[in-house]
Structure 1
Amino acid sequence: MSARARLCATVPALMPTSQAGPPDIAGLLGHRMLVQRSDDEIVAQALDDAFAARPGGRVSFPAPWPRLYGTWEVAPDASVAVFAGVHAVRAVEPTGATRWEVRHGCWSGACRETHESYGEYADRRDHRYPDGGSVGFSADGRLVWAHIRAPLPEGGPSPDTADEWLVLDAEDGRVLARVSAEAAAVGSLHLAHPTDPHQMGLSIGEGQDGAPLRWGRWDGATVDVDYVEGDLCLLSVSPSGERLMTVAHDQDSLAVRDSHGAVVDGSEWDAGAVVPRHPDAPPGDDEEMLVCWDWAGGFVDERTLIVSTAESDEEWGRGRHWLVDTMATRGLVQVTYPSPVSWQPTALGNGAWWTPSESRDALQVWELHTPDD
């Protein structure tokens, strides 16, 4: 059994991929934008409901440091971009003006300096490959959640704290709340609750050491954090915000969880047990056919996941994508495409998902084919 995908839009990249990182479709339904980062700037293009560029909806933000020195996110209304760098979190307006900056400990190895600018370490070999944190805007754009390396200039809650999780006022950068992330990150990713601006997810990567998952709730004064047990990568939040999609750090288990981290009954799938043998794999012992979930995919809608096994499939042939109905028992359904697709899918939550084009110079947006199409 398979499900047919239909191409509903092709969205060209904003910059040549030889000069910039890959493009991405960001934002919630009704506020979609195509975003892309080069060393010099972030460019954001507002998209309509058909994923076409909105006239006059293009804006750029000058970058304070090269793209390999941190992560970034554009506000939902594209009024400001926030850069999470090696030594600071900085909000930048389209004019290039700094709206605010929060300095913190250095993400580079054993460095214990509190840098005042990127220029202090730009040419230092020991800062060439830093670890890093991330930032995420709340659904309404009024808060910025920031995962940083401790301490702040004014000190920290404990000398043993490696990483902190901050809630910042998006307008002026005031620290509204702070809490230990209880991690020592190599990198991280924020995923916002799509309707409640006071909730945020944080997926932390510690390299081979693990993958802590945190879910935070800010009550206007303090942050209450669920430190979810296990090494789990948070990949998607459902449109309601009530369910989370995770893949285990070792990529063997896919699960749907509630926002406290508990697995929803019957919503956990072991890759080795449910993924069928690749059709191009040679005959042999199935125990040697290792298969794993990709760290990719998400909620196509409230009940359906798009997932993939492209990483382990590539040894035998083209990577496969799957639909999972989380409220049924029919198992995986393989997705078939009218033409070959490249690498892994990213869900959009409104019945659609996207994949990069083979040349990486565009994003292809897909939805399920129906008999009336």
Structure 2
Amino acid sequence: MPARARLCATVPALLPSSEADLPEVFGLPGRRLLAQRGDSALVVQALDDALVPSGGSVRVPAPWPRRRGTWAVAPDASLAVFAGVHAVRAVEPSGATRWEVRHGCWYGACRELHESYEEYADSKDHRYPEGGSAGFSVDGTFVWAHVRGPLAAGELGPDVVDEWLLLDATDGRVLGRADAGAAAAGSFHLPHPSDPRQMGLSIGEGQDGAPLRWGRWDGRTLAVEYVEGDLTLMSVSPSGERLMTVTHDQDALAVRDTGGSVLEGLEWAAGTAVPRHPDAEPDNDEALPYWDWAGGFVDETTLVGSTVEGDEEWGEGRHWIIDTSGARTPVEVTYPVTVGPQPPTALGDGTWITPAKSGEALYVWALD
């Protein structure tokens, strides 16, 4: 029997889809933010408990185009951080730069410590650089940043390629530095939902791998757990004690502890746990399903995942619910309206999100 989804809310996008990335929802229940990166600014809107827009929106001017980096927003929307090709910059809604941390250039052949975006803005060889990311701690006290070394203030060592930094969100002071142990093409952060001193970092190295790191700050030292294997971190459970991951080859979805160990019985190989798409060729090995690098904890024991990328050749992409405290068998989700082709994103409070097909809104779902 399929898992029926019930529509709880429709959240309109803040910007036209032609001018912006898809909108995203951040934060904990009761403190949700809707954010969308446009060509020249990041627009942020507070949401109430029903995920209805509350109050006016905040527009934070961006220091460089949206294709030249990633961003993060503070829990109270008072600050946005832009992780670019040459620097991590914190910008206030007024447009004022609160602080900036310069680092090595993400274009691999460049060894310059650029002082501004304008130095390489029109350079063809900097058009498609690698990239890092930044993320706020759950309380907004810290900014965690994954950067290409070295910093303008020095380097960890000649063999360090990427660094993981812990920054004071107020003034950008570097509180801790560690070797990320990677050579990234891109990355993203996922915060612990209650402890500002813990953070997850998922790194993509293109075809070479997907390192996963878990960081802990004790007030003096930044300690990094270098999780074994090539894993994409998709979600942190509401308790902060469980991680949802997918292997780099997209074969296995699993629930792990923060040290990286798979919890007993909580791993699912797509080729055996999920049936082929009903329109797929039955004897074609390339028609076997595989997990998307997306999904999350609907609640502490319920997961949502998808096989959209592998299904697209055969028809409509499928989403799956897994009850880890019950049958533990992926069950296909059915929706009362057509959703977009993107994978789902879980909110941890019993709901998950899918973009509308038009890209002009987000649908919020719960199990019926």
Instruction: Say whether 1:230 aligns with 2:229.
Output: yes
Structure 1 residue 329: deviation in Å?
3.1
Residues 275 and 289 in structure 2, CA contact (< 8 A), matched pair in contact too:
no
1:119 match: secondary structure:
helix
2:55 match: secondary structure:
strand
Counterparts of 1:210 and 1:202 in 2: how far apart (Å)? 14
Instruction: Say whether 1:327 aligns with 2:308.
Output: no
Structure 1 residue 290: deviation in Å?
1.9
Distance 1:43 1:288, change over 3 A: closer
Structure 2 counterpart of 1:134:
133
Instruction: Say whether 1:292 aligns with 2:323.
Output: no
Between 308-317 and 250-259, report the one with greater CA deviation.
308-317
Counterparts of 1:174 and 1:281 in 2: how far apart (Å)? 54
Residues 186 and 205 in structure 2, CA contact (< 8 A), matched pair in contact too:
yes
Deviations 1:262-297 (A, max 9, x none): 001111100001101222224x32645221001111
Residues 338 and 356 in structure 2, CA contact (< 8 A), matched pair in contact too:
no
Counterparts of 1:109 and 1:354 in 2: how far apart (Å)? 36
Structure 2 counterpart of 1:100:
99
Counterparts of 1:306 and 1:68 in 2: how far apart (Å)? 29
Instruction: Say whether 1:172 aligns with 2:161.
Output: no
Structure 2 counterpart of 1:32:
32
Aligned length: 367
Instruction: Say whether 1:153 aligns with 2:155.
Output: no
Counterparts of 1:169 and 1:43 in 2: how far apart (Å)? 23
Counterparts of 1:285 and 1:303 in 2: how far apart (Å)? 35
Instruction: Say whether 1:309 aligns with 2:288.
Output: no
Distance 1:330 1:105, change over 3 A: closer
Letter in 2 for 1:22: L
Between 324-333 and 220-229, report the one with greater CA deviation.
324-333
Runs of 4 or more off by more than 4 Å in structure 1? none
Residues 276 and 288 in structure 2, CA contact (< 8 A), matched pair in contact too:
no
Counterparts of 2:361 and 2:274 in 1: how far apart (Å)? 29
Counterparts of 1:345 and 1:85 in 2: how far apart (Å)? 27
Letter in 2 for 1:216: G
Counting aligned pairs with the same residue, the percent is 69
Instruction: Say whether 1:262 aligns with 2:273.
Output: no
Residues 298 and 304 in structure 2, CA contact (< 8 A), matched pair in contact too:
yes
Residues 58 and 93 in structure 2, CA contact (< 8 A), matched pair in contact too:
yes
Structure 1 residue 28: deviation in Å?
1.7
Structure 1 residue 342: deviation in Å?
1.5
Structure 2 counterpart of 1:208:
207
Letter in 2 for 1:14: L
Letter in 2 for 1:77: D
Counterparts of 1:211 and 1:287 in 2: how far apart (Å)? 25
Alignment of 1:243-258 (within 5 A): 243-258=242-257
Counterparts of 1:330 and 1:205 in 2: how far apart (Å)? 28
Between 18-27 and 300-309, report the one with greater CA deviation.
18-27
Deviations 1:93-128 (A, max 9, x none): 010000000000000121000000000000111100
Counterparts of 2:97 and 2:73 in 1: how far apart (Å)? 14
Instruction: Say whether 1:182 aligns with 2:174.
Output: no
2:67 match: secondary structure:
helix
Between 331-340 and 112-121, report the one with greater CA deviation.
331-340
Deviations 1:280-335 (A, max 9, x none): 224x3264522100111100000000000111111111111110111223411111
Structure 1 portions without partners, runs of 5+: none
2:277 match: secondary structure:
coil
Structure 2 counterpart of 1:277:
276
Alignment of 1:22-61 (within 5 A): 22-56=22-56, 58-61=57-60
1:54 match: secondary structure:
coil
Counterparts of 1:340 and 1:268 in 2: how far apart (Å)? 29
Structure 2 counterpart of 1:78:
77
Counterparts of 2:153 and 2:113 in 1: how far apart (Å)? 11
Between 28-37 and 94-103, report the one with greater CA deviation.
28-37
Distance 1:93 1:338, change over 3 A: same
The root-mean-square deviation of aligned C-alpha atoms, in Å, is 1.0
Deviations 1:116-151 (A, max 9, x none): 000000011110001110001001100000000000
Alignment of 1:354-365 (within 5 A): 354-365=353-364
Structure 2 portions without partners, runs of 5+: none
TM value normalised by structure 1: 0.97
TM value normalised by structure 2: 0.98
